[in-house]
């Protein structure tokens, strides 16, 4: 992930503050400057098929919350924590629906192993399946820090937990992945 400069983060935060005061041009520019990050986070957390809907949901929440945005953190960190909350709420909503069972995951993994050519595509699919099988909190910590490139401090702010919690979740996720890939 391209990491944003302090100047870029400051510009986005200023746009958010102006948008919160009713500046429509600033709102448009704020959305343009941040929507790729929001979509990528949501695609990694929940999958591409729901990323569009959740991105839209995130910005609906943003518009009602912007007038209260006080720049206690960067606007990008604040925005990604709203995106994460939209994802969490979506998971809670989905809990009512039937889930894929572990055996379905194992069947899919076994089928992939059979048709495996020594290509990077199947490696990526295997990694994705392993990551998807992680507990949600570990998957989130791993994606924020290792896939999207946020610092542990930024990931902690986005997730609303302490830095030590992110560190231990990433360590456990890595262990799960190593144990899972050798299974």
pLDDT for res 2 = 52
Indicate whether 4 pLDDT > 50.
Answer: yes
Instruction: Classify domain 1-98 at the CATH topology level.
Output: Rna Polymerase Sigma Factor; Chain: A (1.10.1740)
**Domain locations in the chain?**
1-98
Integer Rg of the chain from CA: 18
Q: What is the pLDDT of residue 6?
A: 87
The residues, ordered by sequence, that sit 6+ positions from 116 with a Cβ below 8 Å of its Cβ are 122
Taking alpha carbons only, the member of 139, 146, 137, 141 closest to residue 166 is: 141
Please give the pLDDT value at position 48.
85
pLDDT digits (tens, 9 = 90+) for 11-28: 999 999 999 999 999 999
**pLDDT at residue 1 in the model:** 46
* The model's pTM: 0.65
pLDDT digits (tens, 9 = 90+) for 47-106: 888 899 999 999 989 988 999 999 988 999 999 999 999 988 887 776 655 444 444 444
pLDDT of residue 169: 95
Residues 112-153: pLDDT tens digits?
Answer: 444 444 445 555 556 667 777 888 899 999 888 887 888 899
Looking at residue 114, its pLDDT comes to 41
CA distances from 102 to 99, 107, 130 (A): 9, 9, 12
Nearest partner of 138 among 82, 180, 95, 98, judged by Cα: 180
Q: DSSP alpha helices (H): ranges in 21-97?
A: 24-46, 48-65, 75-94
């Amino acid at each position: 992930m391209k990491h944003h400069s302090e100047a870029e983060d400051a510009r986005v935060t200023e746009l958010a503050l102006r948008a919160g005061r009713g500046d429509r041009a600033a709102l448009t520019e704020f959305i343009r400057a941040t929507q790729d990050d929001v979509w990528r986070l949501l695609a990694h957390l929940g999958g591409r098929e729901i990323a569009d809907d959740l991105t839209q949901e995130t910005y609906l929440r943003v518009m009602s919350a912007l007038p209260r945005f006080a720049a206690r953190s960067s606007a990008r960190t604040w925005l990604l924590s709203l995106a994460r909350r939209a994802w969490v709420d979506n998971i809670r909503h989905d809990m009512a629906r039937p889930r894929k069972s572990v055996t379905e995951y194992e069947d899919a993994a076994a089928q992939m192993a059979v048709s495996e050519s020594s290509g990077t595509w199947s490696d990526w699919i295997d990694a994705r399946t392993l990551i998807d099988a992680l507990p949600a909190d570990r998957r989130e910590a791993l994606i924020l820090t290792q896939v999207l490139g946020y610092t542990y401090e930024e990931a902690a702010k986005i997730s609303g937990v302490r830095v030590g919690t992110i560190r231990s979740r990433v360590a456990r996720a890595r262990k799960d992945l190593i144990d899972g890939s050798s299974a």
